[in-house]
């Protein structure tokens, strides 16, 4: 009998009874929060995980729980340095993976930045679009030849995609006044669209892709906000959520937040999740253009899963990074 999971399901519940011995997984951003929990749950079930981080010293401390789980289960974890905001770093790591020629069953584009000040990556891209979208675009495509038939790519999007569609004419805010949440929304829409485009290009061999909204979890993603400002914004968003008639909102634990990644990446039927936007361990509802939403409510805007828009982003991303895939 198929198990039904939801918003409060945890990583261990989603993977209950599943043996991942021999499965290889690549995860970006395993030095904190969702990345650590995703890696821990996978190795606890026997998987072999390669995780990337920007700060190896920080990761060594924060991934002890992952190493402990691996020691008990027979799984393994390897932590390597990679900076998504530096495409040379991404290419160096992907070249090393290609040279090792060991296949992957799951790739999780987990790392990201949120609501950063106006900055640029080493390659000159606006930092959120460059890190969240273009860094993962190059990585996923360079790892694609290593993905076994039946493998999956999971990209972390967010319901923050509803702040904005991608702007393919001005991706770096050269002509648009910069707003950190507008930029975040663009980047999370970009991640959702990349899943659509990647899935379309690889499903003929059984490799599927999906984007996921993990829910609202208090992780290091909020590090760029003043704590008082964050609390004021959070309170205001919750009041709006209730005023629209939605049920009381609850922040997720990290184990609940990472559950949708593992549901879409391991547990769910491939045809169910392929090319889709998922949340709360199910495929997200497509919202009408005029649907009222809060910062905490569910659902995906049609522009974030539009295949035509996804192909346009793909072509623009190839132009920007100087590689054709």
Question: Which domain CATH number covers 103?
Answer: 3.40.50.720
295 pLDDT tier (thresholds 50, 70, 90): confident
Report pTM: 0.93
Supply the pLDDT for residue 2.
63
219 pLDDT tier (thresholds 50, 70, 90): low
115 domain-assigned = yes
The pLDDT tens digits for 273-289 are 999 999 999 999 999 98
What share of the chain in percent tops pLDDT 70?
A: 91
Cα angle 218, 268, 100; round to 5 = 80
Q: What would the 3-class secondary structure string for the chain be?
A: CCCCCCCCCCHHHHCCCCCCCCCEEEEECCCCHHHHHHHHHHHHCCCEEEEEECCHHHHHHHCHHHHHHHHHHCCEEEEEECCCCCHHHHHHHHHHHHHHCCCEEEEEECCCCCCCCCCECCCCCEHHHHHHHHHHHHHHHHHHHHEEEEEEEEEECCHHHHHCCCCCCCCCCCCCCCCHHHHHHHHHHHHHHHHHHHHHHHHHHCCEEEEEECCCCCCHHHHHCCHHHHHHHHHHHHHHHHHCCCCCCCCCCHHHHCHHHHHHHHHCCHHHHCCCEEECCEECCECCCCCCCCCCCCCECHHHHCHHHHHHHHHHHHHHHCCCC
In b/e form, how buried is each residue of 147-165, taking b as 16+ CB within 10 angstroms?
beeebbbbbbbbbbbbbbb
CB 247 within 8 A of CB 27: no
CA distance 281 to 274: 14
152 domain-assigned = yes
CA distance 325 to 317: 10
Average pLDDT of every residue of the chain: 93
Whether the pLDDT of residue 222 is over 60: the answer is: no
Tokens of 122: 């080493």
Cα angle 154, 155, 160; round to 5 = 140
What is the number of domains present in the chain? Answer: 1
26 domain-assigned = yes
Region 41-53: mean pLDDT is: 98
Supply the pLDDT for residue 62.
95
Region 151-161: mean pLDDT is: 97
159 pLDDT tier (thresholds 50, 70, 90): very high
CB 133 within 8 A of CB 194: yes
Q: CA dihedral in degrees (303, 305, 307, 311; nearest 10)?
A: 80
Whether the pLDDT of residue 236 is over 80: the answer is: no
225 pLDDT tier (thresholds 50, 70, 90): low
Structural domain harbouring 82: 11-321
Strand order in the sheet with 76-81: 76-81, 48-53, 24-28, 104-109, 147-156, 208-213, 277-279, 282-283
CA 52 vs CA 67, 146, 185, 195: distances in Å? 14, 17, 24, 20
Supply the pLDDT for residue 3.
81
3 domain-assigned = no
69 pLDDT tier (thresholds 50, 70, 90): very high
62 domain-assigned = yes
186 domain-assigned = yes
130 domain-assigned = yes
Region 13-34: mean pLDDT is: 97
297 pLDDT tier (thresholds 50, 70, 90): confident
200 domain-assigned = yes
Supply the pLDDT for residue 292.
84
Supply the pLDDT for residue 274.
98
272 pLDDT tier (thresholds 50, 70, 90): very high
- Which residues does the annotation mark as catalytic? 184
The pLDDT tens digits for 89-136 are 999 999 999 999 999 999 999 999 999 999 999 999 999 999 999 999
């Amino acid at each position: 009998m198929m198990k039904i999971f939801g918003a409060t399901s945890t990583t261990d519940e989603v993977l209950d009874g599943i043996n991942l011995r021999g499965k290889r997984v690549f995860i970006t951003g395993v030095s904190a929060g969702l990345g650590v929990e995703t890696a821990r749950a996978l190795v606890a079930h026997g998987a072999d995980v390669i995780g990337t981080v920007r700060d190896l010293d920080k990761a060594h401390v924060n991934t002890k729980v992952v190493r402990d789980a691996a020691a008990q289960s027979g799984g393994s974890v390897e932590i390597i340095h990679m900076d998504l905001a530096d495409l040379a770093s991404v290419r160096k790591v992907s070249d090393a993976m290609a040279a090792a020629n060991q296949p992957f069953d799951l790739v999780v584009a987990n790392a990201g930045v949120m609501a950063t000040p106006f900055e640029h990556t080493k390659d000159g891209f606006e930092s959120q679009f460059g890190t969240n979208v273009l860094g993962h675009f190059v990585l996923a495509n360079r790892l694609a030849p290593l993905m076994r038939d039946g493998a999956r790519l999971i990209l972390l999007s967010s319901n923050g995609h509803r702040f904005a569609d991608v702007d393919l004419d001005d991706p770096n805010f050269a002509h648009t006044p910069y707003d950190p949440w507008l930029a975040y929304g663009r980047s999370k829409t970009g991640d959702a669209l990349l899943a659509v485009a990647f899935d379309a290009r690889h499903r003929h061999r059984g490799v599927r892709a999906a984007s996921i909204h993990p829910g609202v979890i208090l992780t290091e993603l909020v590090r760029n906000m003043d704590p008082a400002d964050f609390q004021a914004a959070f309170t205001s968003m919750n009041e709006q959520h209730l005023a629209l008639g939605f049920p009381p909102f609850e922040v997720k634990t990290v184990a609940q937040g990472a559950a949708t990644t593992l549901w879409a990446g391991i547990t769910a039927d491939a045809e169910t999740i392929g090319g889709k936007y998922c949340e709360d361990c199910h495929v997200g509802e497509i919202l009408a253009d005029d649907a009222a939403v809060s910062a905490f409510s569910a659902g995906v805007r049609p522009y974030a899963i539009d295949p035509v828009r996804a192909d346009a982003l793909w072509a623009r991303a190839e132009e920007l990074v100087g590689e054709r895939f």
